[in-house]
Amino acid sequence: MSVIVRDQGFTTDDWDAPIAALEDARDGVGIDLPASADPRELAGRLPDIAMIRVDFPSSADGRGFSIARQLRLMGYRGRLRARGHVIADQYAMARRVGFDEVEIDDSLAARQPEEQWLFRADWRAHDYQARLRGAAIPASAPHADATRAAG
């Protein structure tokens, strides 16, 4: 079994259509995209794909983040799901690059409970680069006073 992580917390999978390998792609089917795939292989077919699930074989393997960003830059507007070894600390990055949700297995969900994911669910507030550019820091943000004083 697996758990779907969204900004609202843990949920069950509501995707009920088949998910196929890239080479078996057809209308109405989600696509499993390995971390080694070149997203440009989907050029011209993106409007017909309702969901793309990008594999993360290891939490140290960041290729999935690059794939998601490239798919969004190519104009993909469907559901984009990270699947596999994504940890709670990576959730904000996953959302920033374009993932809508993360699929983790039950054992990871037990080790990293929902509260850890929810802590990172306000991913726009955890944007280090925005702080460097001088964007407003919410007063409720941890170390907000120190960050403003250092700026």
Per-residue pLDDT of 33-48, as tens digits, reads 999 999 999 988 899 8
* Residue 147 covered by a domain: no
Is 34 inside a domain boundary? yes
Give the pLDDT of residue 136: 52
Q: Does residue 143 fall inside a structural domain?
A: no
CB 46 within 8 A of CB 78: yes
pLDDT at 20: 92
Q: Where are the beta strands (DSSP E) in 12-132?
A: 19-21, 30-33, 51-56, 79-84, 101-105
| Residue 120 pLDDT greater than 50, yes or no | yes
Residue 85 burial class via C-beta count within 10 angstroms: exposed 0-12, middle 13-18, buried 19 and up: middle
Residue 80 is part of a domain; what is its CATH number?
Answer: 3.20.20.70
Answer yes or no: is 106 within a domain: yes
Residue 105 lies in a domain: yes
Identify the three-state secondary structure at position 130: helix
User: Across all residues in the chain, what is the average pLDDT?
Assistant: 86
Q: Which domain holds residue 60?
A: 2-120
Q: Is residue 135 part of a domain?
A: no
The pLDDT score that the predictor gives to residue 71 is 97
**In total, how many domains does the chain have?**
1
pTM of the entire predicted model: 0.81
